[in-house]
Amino acid sequence: MTGHVFIATSLDGYIARPDGDIGWLLARDDPQEDHGYDAFIADKDAIVMGRGSYEKVATFDTWPYDRPVLVLSRQLAGTPVPDRLRGKVRFADLAPLDAMRALEQDGARRVYVDGGQVVQAFLRAGLIEDMVITTVPVLIGAGRRLFGELPGDRDLALVASRSFPSGLVQSTYRVLP
Amino acid sequence: MTGHVFIATSLDGYIARPDGDIGWLLARDDPQEDHGYDAFIADKDAIVMGRGSYEKVATFDTWPYDRPVLVLSRQLAGTPVPDRLRGKVRFADLAPLDAMRALEQDGARRVYVDGGQVVQAFLRAGLIEDMVITTVPVLIGAGRRLFGELPGDRDLALVASRSFPSGLVQSTYRVLP
């Protein structure tokens, strides 16, 4: 069981504004460019995210995921999943390792880990194998951070880095043991 | 008069640990690689930094700068410059624009702006033209941040991005008006 991150951040390290807004990010997404999400998700079996990410995605007109989604949230756990998402989404209040074990029982091996708080918790638990970080050329000055506190340094190995005409820089890191 | 940044940061956005330590950075510097500092400094006329950067550099065996250095610090302003740095360093308690005007009177045109607090203040004042950001492949979890609060978004244009065998990713951004 391994966790894998694919996420975009402002140059100053934010994945969303303080209120969760990602309009600044969507406005800078050039649909002509292939940023590799389809290739990334192709070999993932499930998706784990937090309430913040779930509630943002749930406002979209169409549910964008074709993999089972596990939403880790104390607040949502035990509440009913909306009708249109039944069979696609589960809510649970689980620590990272327990979440991975639950997904493993469903046959998952490679898990897409999304959202700032969840990425941070999985990094602290040593459950992230690699991260694709796409840096958007803007400073937004405040917001929800991609990274947080750690019990110690996490050494990374750069696997690849590329840039796009839109100004995105996408770097792939392996988390070293 | 334009300000220019050339700085290294951990992937999680820190330029130093909470106590100012940069050993994690120096340990990951491959002296076989040319990260472009000499080319960067070649067309700069002066250097502005804060007390944190100055006090770190002042502990080095040799003073590394061959450009006039202006240290912006309320605490150091009015205190004597150490003998070995006389003629190389000045202390002053100046806001960014006033600092630029003082350097302009000395004939400076292009200024290297260094250190987290000073870079942040010059960005807020709209005095930074471009930034060379070198990202070190490590998460350190806490420390002194490169970027801080801003009065509004700062749009950037990616000028170039390259990576090194050591895993550094160096991206050059122009700050858009």
Q: Residue A41's closest CA among A63, A67, A15, A60?
A: A67
φ and ψ at residue B127, rounded to 5 degrees: -105, 5
Residues of B whose CB is below 8 A from A153: 24, 138-141
**How high is the pLDDT of residue A158?**
98
Residue A114: pLDDT band (50, 70, 90) is very high
Retrieve residue B101's tokens: 């005007």
CA distance B120 to chain A (A): 10
φ and ψ at residue B135, rounded to 5 degrees: -95, 125
CA distance B80 to chain A (A): 36
Tell me the C-alpha distance between A32 and B47, whole Å: 41
Across the A:B interface, residue pairs with CB atoms under 8 Å apart total 97
Q: What is the pLDDT of residues A61-96, one digit of tens each?
A: 999 999 999 999 999 999 999 999 999 999 999 999
Tell me the C-alpha distance between A16 and A53, whole Å: 10
Helix-helix angle A116-124:A96-105, to 10 degrees: 90
**B156 vs A171: CB contact, 8 Å cut-off?**
no
Residue A169: pLDDT band (50, 70, 90) is very high
**A147 vs B24: CB contact, 8 Å cut-off?**
no
CA distance A109 to chain B (A): 25
Residues 6+ apart with CB under 8 A from A38: none
Q: What is the pLDDT of residues B48-105, one digit of tens each?
A: 999 999 998 998 899 999 999 999 999 999 999 999 999 999 999 999 999 999 999 9
**Residue A168: Cβ-neighbour burial (10 angstroms; 0-12, 13-18, 19+):** buried
**How high is the pLDDT of residue B65?**
95
Give the residue, A177 or B128, on which the prediction is more confident: B128
Residues 6+ apart with CB under 8 A from B146: A12, B7, B9, B13, B14, B15, B116, B119, B133
**A167 vs B148: CB contact, 8 Å cut-off?**
no
Q: What is the pLDDT of residues B101-125, one digit of tens each?
A: 999 999 999 999 999 999 999 999 9
**How high is the pLDDT of residue A4?**
98
**A140 vs B123: CB contact, 8 Å cut-off?**
no
| Count of C-beta atoms within a 10 Å radius of residue B10 | 26
Stretch A56-61: mean pLDDT: 90
Q: Could you tell me where the DSSP H helices lie in chain A?
A: 23-26, 37-41, 51-57, 96-105, 116-124
**How high is the pLDDT of residue B34?**
98
- ipTM beyond cut 0.90: yes
Q: What is the pLDDT of residues A120-156, one digit of tens each?
A: 999 999 999 999 999 999 999 999 999 999 999 999 9
Q: What is the pLDDT of residues B5-19, one digit of tens each?
A: 999 999 999 999 999
Q: Which of B154, B157, B169 sits opposite A171 (nearest CB)?
A: B169
Residue B174: pLDDT band (50, 70, 90) is very high
Residue B148: pLDDT band (50, 70, 90) is very high
**How high is the pLDDT of residue B94?**
97
Q: Which of A12, A139, A167 sits opposite B157 (nearest CB)?
A: A167
User: Is pTM beyond 0.90 here?
Assistant: yes
**How high is the pLDDT of residue B166?**
97
Which is it for strands B144-145 and B14-16: parallel, antiparallel or unpaired? antiparallel
Tell me the C-alpha distance between B151 and B3, whole Å: 18
Tell me the C-alpha distance between A124 and A147, whole Å: 10
Whether A78 has its CB under 8 Å from any CB of chain B: the answer is no
Compute and round to an integer the Cα radius of gyration of chain B.
Answer: 16
Q: Calculate the average pLDDT of chain A.
A: 96
Whether A82 has its CB under 8 Å from any CB of chain B: the answer is no
Q: Quote the domain boundaries for residue A12.
A: 2-175
Classify A45 as helix, strand or coil.
coil
**A12 vs B140: CB contact, 8 Å cut-off?**
no
Interfacial A residues in 6-45 facing B (CB < 8 Å) = 11-13, 24
Q: Using H for helix, E for strand and C for coil, what is the string for chain B?
A: CEEEEEEEEECCCEEECCCCCCHHHHCCCCCCCCCCHHHHHCCCCEEEEEHHHHHHHCCCCCCCCCCCEEEECCCCCCCCCCHHHCCCEEEECCCHHHHHHHHHHCCCCEEEEECHHHHHHHHHCCCEEEEEEEEECEECCCCEECCCCCCCCEEEEEEEEEECCCCCEEEEEEECC
Residue A101: pLDDT band (50, 70, 90) is very high
Q: Residue A53's closest CA among A158, A172, A170, A144?
A: A144
Task: Quote the number of domains for chain A.
Answer: 1
Q: Residue B106's closest CA among B93, B129, B87?
A: B87
Nearest residue in chain A measured CA to CA from B154: A139
Residues of B whose CB is below 8 A from A139: 123, 147, 150, 153-154, 156
Chosen for mutation from B159, B161, B162, B175 (greatest number of chain A CBs closer than 10 Å) is B161
**B156 vs A169: CB contact, 8 Å cut-off?**
no
Whether A159 has its CB under 8 Å from any CB of chain B: the answer is no
**B12 vs A147: CB contact, 8 Å cut-off?**
yes
Chosen for mutation from A156, A159, A162, A174 (greatest number of chain B CBs closer than 10 Å) is A156
Whether the Cβ atoms of residue B92 and residue B70 lie closer than 8 Å to each other: yes
Q: Residue B146's closest CA among B123, B125, B168, B162?
A: B123
**CATH code, domain with B87:** 3.40.430.10
